[in-house]
Amino acid sequence: MNSRSAAGAYREAAFENAPPIKIVRMLYAGAIRFLDQAASEAPAGPGSRFAYLLTRADSIVAELRMSLRKDEAPGVGENLEQLYLFVEERIRCAQRTLDRVPIADARKVLANLNEAWAQVETRSRAE
């Protein structure tokens, strides 16, 4: 097994064995990473990965939104859904207009949510 496949196997095992809060935080981190990478790309031009990276971030956010269990915490679920819809709208705006500015709006929301989940994770470990 080469080092590349070993690293992939390790990441896969870490994800499969992680508690739900950790998985959510990993998804936020991935979406933020794709947004950061898109923001560093030229929005248009030959070889630009701008749209591709935004699509990757959008896919993660859409998955987070679709996996909400609003019946377990209706108020929280509704609020998260609205935040995810906002993030998705900002990502699509960036794709449509080939503008980096909406990326910052989406990133800010995801970073704030990631921080909030980090606090929940810390509290749940302490209990």
The tens digit of pLDDT for each residue in 98-115 reads 999 999 999 999 999 999
- Sequence spans of domains, the chain: 19-126
The tens digit of pLDDT for each residue in 9-24 reads 656 666 677 788 999 9
The tens digit of pLDDT for each residue in 75-85 reads 999 999 999 99
CB 84 within 8 A of CB 61: yes
With a cut of 70, say whether residue 8 has pLDDT above it.
Answer: no
Q: How confident is the model at residue 56 (pLDDT cuts 50, 70, 90)?
A: very high
Return d(Cα 96, Cα 120) in angstroms, integer: 35
Domain 19-126 has CATH 1.20.120.340: yes
SS3 69: coil
pLDDT reported for residue 16 = 72
Q: Which residue has the tokens 């990441």?
A: 11
